[in-house]
Chain A
Amino acid sequence: MSLPVRDFYRSMADRVGQTLAERGLDDKILIQVGSATCEHAAGSQTVEEEFARHIRASGRKDIVIHRTGCTGRCSREPIVGIHVPGLIPVKYERVNRDLVHRIFTEHIQNSTPVVKHILDHDGETLPEREFLFCEGARCQRSGPSLRDRFSALLEARGIEPHRVRVGAASCFGACGISGGEPATFVLARPEKVLYRLSSDEDLVALVEGHVLAGQVVERLKAKEEPIALEFLERYGDVSFFNRQSRIALRNAGVVDPESLDEYIGCDGFKALTDVLARRDPEWVINELTKARLRGRGGGGFTTGAKWALARKQADTTRFIICNGDEGDPGAFMDRSMLESDPFNIVEGMIIGGFSIGAQKGFFYIRAEYPLAIKRIQHAIDVCRANGLLGQNIMGSGFDFDMEIRLGAGAFVCGEETALIRSIEGERGQPKVRPPYPTDRGLWGHPTCINNVETFANISAILRYSGDWYARIGTEKSGGTKVFALAGKVKHTGLVEVPLGTTLSRVVNDIGGGVSGGKKLKAIQTGGPAGGFIPAAMQDMEVDFEPLQKAGSIMGSGGMIVLSEDDCMVDIAKFYMAFSQEESCGKCTPCREGTTRILEILERITQGKGEPEDLDKLHRLSRLCQRTSLCGLGRAAPNPVLSSLKHFREEFLAHIHDKHCPAKKCVALIRYEINAEKCIGCTICARNCPVECITGARKEAHVIDQEACVKCGNCFDVCKFAAIDRV
């Protein structure tokens, strides 16, 4: 018997297949340009215009521009990918107008890539082929040894390593998708074929068949299709990307965020089809529970349990809300997902709406993200026009619609009861829980609030099963987590890794370690509600419980790397100033507590700290934690408590010795000119804003300490390291 939902999907997929075939992108040269807030800021729009101009001027019809979201490789943007049929895609970093010209004339028109500007590439030539071995970072497969034997085989046949590159990827997440024994998976590029290897004979067959004869070895082809296949095909050669496991971010940098067709081409709305055809919300909730998916907004509440709670309410008017009020300074994964893969979030939300029996969904997005708002609105409109939203979705009889509500710059609105108040058009002040929103939420009806990233995982879980997702993470929490890596780290950007990955792997292996050759001091996780993990604990596994034990939290996934140049007292003060400003003022412990804590921290950084201040800080922090009304106040003292726990000696140095070990706190440092090193070039005197540096030409200069405002200009401009910061 044919089901209306399945028929609906089939005809939609056929139509999309036809449209995509007509576009004929597979036979054309694609110029892939990123388009998201960060890419735009780096200049990607100019780059796109410039390429368009070159294409017009060349008059060629076989070159097209393909716009995608962002891959999360922020520090190297704008990133441009050149896809020539039959060749491995090439990515360029930090592309500007001049480079566009070179890429177009040298690479596209003359087939000689501009090797020097290729993303993370340090070789003279580009390989013709590439084999990516799944190293199974989580399951300890025989990957590495197989890979070595494969390289040895290639060498024995006289194939040079620069022609055929052998690389490693962290985890394809392909095991057990379609049952059968675990094996090592290998992705062959540019053919985009996934092989499944289990023995040395397989290796020989691969070398002789695929490499030497240039034919796909059908016998070894895997039946599995890893979720991030398209992503790996495009970015698999870059270690920043192949050390990640992309699930929530699988389409970021792959699909055009404004094209429903491309999303459907990547198996979009397959999960929703399954859900609506089964007509069984319990099945969805069961799969999510099996997947051990926990709320990615920070709380870590099991998503399956939350949906089940809302579902069993007697009140049948129910709502589902997507919390896109990403207020944590230093976190930007929600923005990236909303901008780069909006249809995926919409699909996750429709499934959520069906599962809890809601009629309406709300996107709550902060007004600071205009592009995210635009793309989600576009996705909603397109879905509505195509029968994926509104009345009788996909012919299933299920009615569900959604709309966007804008935040207006209040951090506290990330708290669920405050968020509900804000959607109701009120001031965003939290309420006492219980009742929890799942009992009585928006306008008094049962309401489910989930984070953007949580919704981004839903379709993947339902397509590949909850067991598959659970296997990727740890015993307590399944799947992956996206981290926004920023601060003093070499490669800033979005990193999606399985839960249970060590901090060190994220910061050092993927992030490239601390920038400028400095020493790692601490890693801050969880934003203003989180804490510091000292460098000594960097081998800790990232998961909800271990982070909490160390005095921090997972939070929404901000990860700020701090180096030896950062003063922990100063950073703690920074976070406290944030929480103090964002406190809504409703309850006294938070409103007054944060203010007083901040006062004490300010005093300490100004060198006016007193020995009893540390006890005061501790007492006040505990009080604020225990008695505040909502999560903001309860978590606000975390940065102070964790820095007191791990970096007490820095506080003591500020209080007792009036000394800032990181030389950051302005009141506790001074600049002096080393007379032996100073050659009297006068550059410091010319750059001093208060003219407090004196001295004749070619003679050692002197700083008038009374007049000095300690701006540090002289320190920065001196070419002879003659200025000491003490």
Chain B
Amino acid sequence: MSECCHCQTDNWEDLERGYRTMLPEDVLAFIDANREKEHSESMLIATLHMVQGHFGHLGPGHLEAVAQLMQVPLAKVTGVATFYHYFRLQPRGKYLINVCLGTACYVKGAEKVAQKLTEELGIRFGETSKDGIFSLESTRCVGTCGLAPVVMIGDEVHGPLTPNQVPNLLETYLARAAEDLVGASTPEQK
């Protein structure tokens, strides 16, 4: 759990200061802007979207900070975060692979593509590869049924895919991840 659970104080100002350090600026600004508005608690899902957008997942500390700062019970925040499929409670890899298992993809052989992905990555659905680059998940229809079967990697949709194309597709992302690594380390070398 978060460090704030062990705070030695029940002074709200101290607590608030602690929770504020756990969320990024734009989320804090969003929560502050909504506080005075009517039905501000209805912005919970939007807030969680922002937090996940920043961290890639919703950790226990994030949920607690959101609950405290929005003044919504933690039970409700957790309830919402676990109810909706879109929210992830575990950290995920650099690239999220979403295999579409909608009807159109299913009848066009999405299962074989899914099978190939699990083989190539050596992980099951819901898991992240050891190098932390890929997470594998399934989704129900990304609305590009004309290209079925499709796989979504990050924000990019790929299709129609055959199992044989899977290794090459993964290679391009591995290369991209490697490039990013090089790109990230060059400034340091300078």
Contacts and interface: CB of A to CB of B under 8 A. Distances in A.
Interface string B141-160: 11111111010000111110
Contacts, number: 143
Interface string B44-59: 1110110000000000
B190 interface: no
Nearest to A404: B46
Interface in A546-579: 558, 560, 562, 566, 571, 574-575, 578
Contacts of B87: 408-409
A571 B112 CA distance: 16
Interface in A406-427: 406-411, 422-427
A443 B140 contact: no
Contacts of A8: none
A330 B86 contact: no
B45 A330 contact: no
B115 interface: yes
A328 B115 CA distance: 24
Contacts of B142: 37, 368
B145 A578 contact: no
B83 A487 contact: no
B145 A41 contact: no
Given A443-B39, A487-B108, A408 B144 contact: no
Contact of B45 (A73, A408, A527): A408
A488 interface: yes
Interface centre among A329, A369, A689 (most CB of B within 10 A): A329
B95 interface: no
A411 B140 contact: yes
A418 B145 CA distance: 26
A428 B106 contact: no
Nearest to A369: B143
Interface string A672-697: 00000000000000000100000000
Interface in B97-129: 101-104, 106-108, 112, 115, 119
B104 to A, nearest CB: 4
A37 B143 contact: yes
A326 B144 contact: no
A424 B157 contact: no
Contacts of A443: 39
B80 A427 contact: yes
Nearest to A39: B144
A230 to B, nearest CB: 23
A41 B159 CA distance: 7
A428 B143 contact: no
Contacts of B146: 38, 73-75, 77, 486, 492-493
A520 to B, nearest CB: 13
B79 interface: yes
Nearest to A527: B103
Nearest to B157: A41
B158 A487 contact: no
B145 A368 contact: no
Contacts of A330: 102-104, 141, 145
Interface string A419-440: 0001111111000000000000
A370 B156 CA distance: 11
Contact of B86 (A367, A425, A492): A367
Contact of B103 (A75, A487, A689): A487
B16 interface: no
Contacts of B103: 329-330, 486-487, 524, 527, 558, 560, 571, 574-575
B84 A428 contact: yes
B39 A42 contact: no
Contacts of B42: 405, 423-425
A332 interface: yes
B139 interface: yes
B14 interface: no
Contacts of B85: 408-410
B150 A329 contact: no
B140 A332 contact: no
A40 interface: yes
A566 B103 CA distance: 12
Interface in B49-99: 49, 72, 76, 79-80, 83-87
B26 interface: no
Contacts of A67: none
Nearest to A429: B83
A484 interface: yes
A415 B41 CA distance: 21
A562 B103 CA distance: 10
A335 interface: yes
Nearest to A329: B102
Given A41-B150, A370-B155, A409-B84, A326 B145 contact: no
Given A524-B103, A571-B107, A41 B80 contact: no
Nearest to B87: A408
Interface in A306-336: 326-332, 335
A33 B39 CA distance: 42
Contacts of A77: 146-147
Contacts of A37: 142-144, 157
B126 to A, nearest CB: 13
A711 interface: yes
Contacts of B49: 367, 406, 408
Contacts of A712: 112
A524 B103 CA distance: 10
Nearest to B42: A425
B156 A487 contact: no
Contacts of A411: 140
Given A41-B159, A425-B44, A331 B141 contact: yes
Contacts of B178: none
Interface string A318-359: 000000001111111001000000000000000000000000
Contacts of B144: 37-38, 41, 74, 332
A408 B84 contact: yes
Contact of A335 (B139, B143, B150): B143
A424 B39 contact: yes
B140 A492 contact: no
29 contacts: A37-B143, A37-B157, A38-B146, A41-B144, A41-B157, A41-B158, A74-B146, A74-B147, A75-B146, A327-B140, A331-B141, A332-B144, A332-B145, A367-B86, A368-B143, A405-B45, A405-B46, A408-B48, A408-B84, A409-B86, A423-B42, A425-B44, A427-B83, A487-B108, A488-B108, A527-B103, A566-B107, A571-B106, A574-B103
Top 6 A-B pairs, shortest CB-CB distance:
A74-B146, A329-B102, A408-B84, A41-B157, A409-B86, A409-B85
Given A406-B46, A524-B103, A571-B106, 13 more contacts: A38-B146, A41-B144, A329-B103, A331-B143, A332-B141, A332-B144, A368-B86, A410-B84, A410-B85, A426-B76, A487-B103, A488-B107, A571-B107
